[in-house]
Amino acid sequence: MCLPEVYLNAPALHVSPLVWAITLIVMVAVLLADLFIIGRRPHEPSIKESTIWVSIYVGLALLFGLGLWLTSGGVFAGEFYAGWLTEYSLSVDNLFVFVIIMTRFVVPRHLQQEVLLVGIILALVMRGAFIAAGSALISQFSWVFYIFGAFLVYTAINFARQGEPSEEEFKENIVIRWVRRAVPFSRDFDGAKITTRDSMGKRLFTPMLVVMIAIGTTDLIFALDSIPAIFGVTKEPYLVFTANVFALMGLRQLYFLLGGLLDRLVYLNIGLAVVLAFIGVKLVLEALADNNLPFLNGGEHISWAPHIPIWLSLSVILGTLLIATVASLAKSARDKRKERELTSVGS
């Protein structure tokens, strides 16, 4: 037996090749339209523009889940919503690092949209490969749940201890360092171009290439957390993929919408730590329920390991993120009030 018994007994989500093809075509069309809009008029989007686009993408995700509810039932819809919320919240955490990268490489604000969009496209491609690999592993080896679960708990502990990264803590990864050494670069940006020519006519790469590589490879590292996390919510490759797509599609607009608000989400890392730890424990319990490791309980299933239903998973994820957000904003408001009081006393 490869998957936990509860999943073997549960109905599978049957997705035809035609539905997969339509999903991929729509995704590519949206990305091309987005790229066309940015290429036609590079600019820093306003709060109003960002709010409209984020609302559209969130609305599309909610409608997609509703469509799943009507066509495939509440269980699969709940799995999609739980997976989408998990990926979306982890994507918000990624924005902290994106801000650091943009600041570190001094990317002009009107060019940041294109950098983010290219980074998101790279992330979708890389996550697609991760999802395919994860699905293959899970379908063959149930003990992978132990590894995924332990890794998520370990990641949760790091989230809780380290908090959000700062610019001083950010270190360029090995890919960025190698590109810097191996490729000739200009000192300045040339619009959104990846290459330019110097005064002698020599072709050079612009810093835009390094920034795009930094965004793409950073998201690949984040996928090491997010992909196991969503597999802890649903084992359906189609739901895993679409949840990732909807979480990433509106990330560019969310970056500009949140802006300075990111600094106020002081408890987001704690909330994410709780979510990841919960999903990690859930995965381990599922692995125990279908245990076949010979050195554990004689290779027999562990009957006391409970199955956590999707409604409970969705409630814990949504509730934790809501509490973390409200608590963060409340603390930021208190800190600002204290700062104003100290300023008034000092004056």
Count: domains in the chain: 1
The answer to whether residue 214 sits within a structural domain is: yes
Q: How many Cβ atoms are within 10 Å of 327's Cβ, its own excluded?
A: 16
The answer to whether residue 192 sits within a structural domain is: yes
Q: What is the pLDDT along the chain (347 residues), one digit of tens a residue?
A: 344 444 444 567 888 889 889 988 988 888 777 767 665 666 677 778 888 888 888 999 999 999 999 998 889 999 999 999 888 888 777 777 777 788 788 888 777 877 777 777 777 777 778 788 877 777 776 677 788 888 888 888 887 776 655 555 566 667 777 877 888 888 778 777 788 887 777 888 888 888 888 877 777 777 777 778 888 888 888 998 899 888 887 787 788 777 666 667 778 888 888 988 888 888 888 777 776 666 676 666 677 777 788 888 888 888 998 998 889 888 888 888 887 777 776 65
Distance CA 145, CA 147 (A): 5
The answer to whether residue 320 sits within a structural domain is: no
Distance CA 199, CA 187 (A): 12
Residue 35 structural domain: 17-162+175-264
The answer to whether residue 45 sits within a structural domain is: yes
The answer to whether residue 42 sits within a structural domain is: yes
**Secondary structure letter of residue 110 according to DSSP:** G
Distance CA 77, CA 63 (A): 10
The answer to whether residue 298 sits within a structural domain is: no
Q: Which of 11, 36, 33, 85 is nearest to 233 (CA)?
A: 85
The answer to whether residue 94 sits within a structural domain is: yes
The answer to whether residue 191 sits within a structural domain is: yes
Q: For the whole prediction, is pTM greater than 0.85?
A: no
Q: Which of 90, 32, 16 is nearest to 243 (CA)?
A: 90
Helix boundaries (H) for 45-193: 47-72, 74-104, 112-140, 144-162, 174-182
